Chains A and B, each alone.
Chain A
Amino acid sequence: MKQIFIFLCAAVIVTACDLEKEIDIDGVEFREAINISGHISRQYGANVFVECTYPPQSHTYFNKKIDDAKVYLTSGGVKIAEIPASSYFEGLLYHIDIDTFSYNSYGVLVESGRLGTAYSAEQTLPDKVAADSVVVTESDNGSYMATFYFSNDENLPGYYCNARTADRDDGDIEKLFHTHFYGSDAIHYQEARKKDYCQISCVFYPASFDYDELEYYADFITLSPDLAKYLKSEAEYNTSQEDEFFDYPYPLYSNIKGGYGFFGAYTVSQTSGVVKGKWVYFE
């Protein structure tokens, strides 16, 4: 009897181990598709990164070109210009400097003989809105924080801010999405703005600590609805990826039909100024 008991105890422990096996699940079959990452602004024209998707967990660092892609800018559902490939990241990045107008709608359309057609929902380019004031403060660790104060406009879906110093050039193309966020206030969404008066902040760093005066540029950016949704989903996505538990991945917002990714619109209102620097000595 005792032996039977011990055997059954052992059986429970052995069989209660985690078991894994390969399975097929409907709805997650991989297919090559067009992925679009793009935006249009009054200041920087249209920048569209077009690439082909990889199967999940491909562990690659190389963006896959779509050799036969043709990329167009649309307005009102009509192609208004073909966006040529940029000399940077040839075959991946498409760039066009074009006169754009607030309150006009713009979209992107990508055609590929191999992968079909992908097109975005069109975005209304928001008008230029300036913050009422910008206050820059210095912290003990050598960074700066730019705080924008602005009155609420319920018609705008969201605001975004970034700032950089003149000696730290991140490049025009990159700067929109490479800004270091400060807390959750770097983006303000319409539904969060119950108050008449709001503020958002972002931090920036000088390239070195050795300076007397530091010139900075501070951007106050108004977002199209889809861009606001995308940035919001990106923040959630990044935190969910840190969560090891399976059930809570957070899909990024997409407004592309026939493919993946998103296309947004924004308008930048830029201010600049000078802050006094200080020498930092290291022992």
Chain B
Amino acid sequence: MKHIFLVGLLIAALSSNAQSFKLTGHLVDTETGESVLYANCIDENTGRGAVANNFGYFSLKVGSKARITISCIGYATTTTEFTIHGDTTVTIGVSPKTTAINEVVVSATVPVREQVMMGKTTLTPEMIKSIPSFLAEPDLIKTLAYLPGISLGREGYSNIFVRGGDRGQNLALLDGIKIYNISHVGGFLSLFNSDIVKSVDVYKGGFPAQYGGRTSAVIDVATKDGNNKRTAGSITLGTLTSSAFLESPLGKKVTFYLAARASYYDLLLKDQRDNFKEAEKELKPVTNNEYTGFSFFDVNSKIRWSIDATSNLALTFFLGNDYQHVYEQDIINYGSLKNDRHKNDYTIKNKGLSLTYAKSFGQLFWRNTVSVSKYDTKNINLSEENIGFDNYHKNRAKTITEIKDATLQSRLEYNLERHKIKGGVEFNRYSYNPGLEYTQFIDSINDEELTSGARSNIDAWENSVYFGDEIKISDRLSVEAGLRGTAYILTDTNYFRAEPRLAARYMLNGNTSVKANYTLMNQFNHVLVNNNSGMEEEIWLASNARIRPQQAHQVSVGIFYGNDERKINASAEIYYKLMNNLIEYRSPVSDNSVHEIEKSVFIGGKGLAYGLELMVSKDFESLTMSLTYTLSKNDRKFDDINNGEWYPFIFDRRHDLGVTAHYRFNRKWTVDGNFVFSSGRPCTLPVAEVPRNEIGFDHHYIYTGFNNCRLPAYHRLDLGVKRYFETDKGLKSQLSLNIYNVYARQNAVMAFYREGKVYQKSLFTIIPTLSYSITL
């Protein structure tokens, strides 16, 4: 009897196993047809769960009857029942919440406490748009700065500095396109148009094996697919910038979007520019002998073809240009002499294209991306000196720097019940031109023209292979282990690097987890920031025998709490990061010839950053608040700087506090506020001076060290009020009033001596801006 019972159990077990099927789901927004990313998917019948990937696909092992519940921030929780007879692929519609104003919580869509990888945050467009912003322009990068451990550097920046890293140590991806310069017009706005953003994954601590090539952070931006239900769009009119967005289906399977932004600051200065040009032509009195203008535009577009329920092909295009013009003339007004003129035109161009093919084979997901990207700057200086009788010396200098890449990535993800296995290859072909310089000299008396130029192209391959596995060891313990191997190949120098990645999460209970993480990252492309240009020109350099690849070891541990019922999240993380082979600007770069640009760096630097990061967010009924605080120390050491002693990194800030609040009065009115406070950043000022003496020492200033003092603390309060309108015909619009720096604090961006006293320079005080947006 006992044997019969056991055999019966075995048959039942086998029978049960035989009725186990593979359910592959693709989650889409019921209103727009957009894929819904990172949603939690649970089969209520078996209790098994999965998280949709960043293409909206998930895979679950289910029985013949499945009851799938989908939950995701911004969407109503939905439950769908299926009767299944075999492995099945389904498309599941998920409805956005019906409230006109979404709840905003700056936290991950997947509860942070449940993620294995530390230091990962996922942002949605609603989060980005909820933060009161500079010029009323929602800004992804400035939103990221509200996360602990991430700062903007100085006021006006749209570059981020993550856990002691420098601006060039962040990998920014837009649908797989590498973005080399993420800011517009000297950093006032970021290059990412918030209209096109679907989700943003930010990694600052642990890095999955598929990411490499940078040492500090990854910002992986996924753009929208385009509305496949109807033609839609929006127009936003701002004080200094405006934007337009259009998305539409093209037939049943193809969708697209097109987005554009432009500034019109230059138009507001038209009179000044015309006046300058008039004076330039003739001997004519001018009211202003200087003209400084800047402008920018960017265009984003994507076409997506849903080949079938399991595969799609997407083409993404991006273009972003910036222009700065500085014109000066020295008024002469002698007889018939023309004025001396100096013109500087500075242009930054980013452009990229990617083609992505994604295919789901049930538990297996395959993604392939081919992308090209180019970043280049052009600096043209023209100087005309009138030497009398309409004869002149004319100097024209043009400096171009650029980096471009062609990248092929192929990645496989295989989801099992206790394993999420990832593996792939990545081939990058880089072409660097750190300095292409032409100079031309024209002497009209001797009818002489002299032109010289030089070119220094460097090509390199960066090829990687990686493997990673997220292993669910028990219900409480999960581990993610990965290894990435990279070969960096130049003509005369090769580097081979292996990067282990390890992360572990242990659930103390349903609400609390502890995590630990170790990563090793290498960076083969280096950024040299040439501050001489006034626009902080970035020059990308290759690794070579002298400039070795940068490396960062990072260890972090943390405790994470989340209570979905009480809508509260909290975390505390500690990190320790050691960086090697850093480079630093060595002045003056701009005066060096092309071949010396690569010598214009201090090399072999070390960096040490460690700190504590705290975050609390709470969602009340109408009020959402978050508080972040970072206590950190961030030092550098170069043999040739500060006499080889450690000194504070220029963006070291001991304390960094951020508070954001979002209050919903009703369906028509919201108020947003944010307050930031941070310790002043280091600066270098002399404490004394001595005049030239007679045994050969020149006059010099005396400094007690590099970055020997600190600017005053930085703090600022911003407020934003939004009024939502909706006509009877369903036309939605939004009027936003933003006030940047409400109490008009003059925050220092630099300090300097004048007549023996220390002065600070500030960029902005209070800036009110208005924008009006219509959603079509």
Contact = CB atoms under 8 A, between A and B. Distances in A.
Contacts of A56: 685-689, 701, 753, 756
A245 B684 contact: no
B13 interface: no
Contact of B759 (A22, A28, A93): A22
B750 A246 contact: yes
Contact of A63 (B691, B703, B763): B691
B535 to A, nearest CB: 12
Interface string A232-259: 1100111110111111111111100000
Interface in B721-773: 746, 748, 750-770
B1 interface: no
A63 B759 contact: no
Contact of B752 (A60, A63, A175, A246): A246
Contact of B687 (A21, A30, A248): A30
A37 interface: yes
B588 A239 contact: yes
A5 interface: yes
Contact of A25 (B650, B691, B698, B758): B758
Interface string B691-723: 111111110111111101111100000000000
B690 interface: yes
B687 A16 contact: no
A25 B692 contact: no
Nearest to B585: A248
A6 B132 CA distance: 21
Contacts of B6: none
A13 B586 CA distance: 34
Given A12-B240, A19-B762, A23-B748, A251 B695 contact: no
Interface residues of A, number: 73
Given A20-B762, A25-B751, A251 B691 contact: no
A122 to B, nearest CB: 17
Contact of A177 (B696, B705, B710, B753): B696
Contacts of B765: 15, 19
A88 interface: yes
Interface string B565-607: 0000000000000000000011110010000000000000000
A55 B587 contact: no
Nearest to A238: B698
Contacts of B764: 15-16
A18 B761 contact: yes
B18 interface: no
B640 A232 contact: yes
Q: Residue among A56, A176, A236 with the most chain B CB within 10 A?
A: A56
A35 B690 CA distance: 8
A4 interface: yes
Interface stretch (A46-54, A67-75, A142-150, A199-207): A46-54
A23 B759 contact: yes
A24 interface: yes
Contact of B689 (A28, A57, A261): A57
B740 to A, nearest CB: 9
A57 B754 contact: yes
A56 B690 CA distance: 8
A221 B38 CA distance: 69
A160 interface: no
A61 B531 contact: no
A64 to B, nearest CB: 8
Given A5-B239, A12-B135, A26-B710, A236 B760 contact: no
A195 interface: no
A105 B775 CA distance: 80
Contacts of A28: 685-687, 708-709, 758
A261 B695 CA distance: 13
A244 B588 CA distance: 9
A169 interface: no
Contact of A21 (B641, B683, B759): B759
A27 interface: yes
A214 to B, nearest CB: 24
A125 to B, nearest CB: 18
B643 interface: yes
A22 B709 CA distance: 16
B282 interface: no
A177 B688 CA distance: 22
A110 B30 CA distance: 83
A20 B761 contact: yes
A240 B746 CA distance: 28
A53 B702 CA distance: 9
A238 B437 CA distance: 25
Nearest to A95: B695
Contact of A18 (B706, B762, B768): B762
Contact of B702 (A20, A173, A260): A260
Given A12-B767, A239-B587, A252 B746 contact: no
Given A177-B697, A178-B696, A25 B240 contact: no
Nearest to A62: B691
B770 A8 contact: yes
Contacts of A175: 696
B756 A58 contact: yes
Given A47-B695, A53-B690, A27 B587 contact: no
B462 to A, nearest CB: 27
A135 interface: no
A229 interface: yes
A40 interface: no
A229 B643 contact: yes
B457 interface: no
A121 to B, nearest CB: 12
Contacts of B761: 18-20
B709 A253 contact: no
A33 interface: yes
A62 B687 CA distance: 18
B758 A24 contact: yes
Nearest to B642: A251
B4 interface: no
Contact of B758 (A23, A92, A237): A23
B593 to A, nearest CB: 12
A21 B760 contact: yes
Nearest to B590: A243
A23 B532 contact: no
B696 A25 contact: no
B639 interface: yes
Given A8-B239, A23-B712, A60 B753 contact: no
Contacts of A213: none
Interface string B624-652: 00000000000000011111000000100
B291 to A, nearest CB: 14
Contacts of A26: 709-710
A250 B701 CA distance: 10
Best-buried of B239, B641, B683, B689 by chain A (most CB within 10 Å): B689
Given A28-B709, A56-B753, A245-B531, A252 B693 contact: no
Contacts of A239: 586-588
Contacts of A5: 239, 770
B759 A29 contact: no
Most buried by A among B641, B686, B768: B686
Contacts of A196: none
Contacts of B687: 27-31, 56
B763 A16 contact: yes
B450 interface: no
Nearest to A244: B532
Interface in A80-113: 88-89, 92-93
Q: Which of A21, A93, A177, A247 has most B Cβ within 10 Å?
A: A247
A191 interface: yes
The 5 closest A-B pairs by CB, nearest first: A177-B696, A251-B703, A243-B587, A53-B688, A27-B709
22 contacts: A8-B769, A12-B239, A12-B240, A18-B763, A21-B762, A23-B758, A25-B711, A27-B687, A54-B688, A54-B689, A54-B691, A56-B688, A63-B693, A177-B697, A236-B640, A245-B531, A245-B532, A246-B751, A246-B752, A249-B684, A251-B643, A251-B706
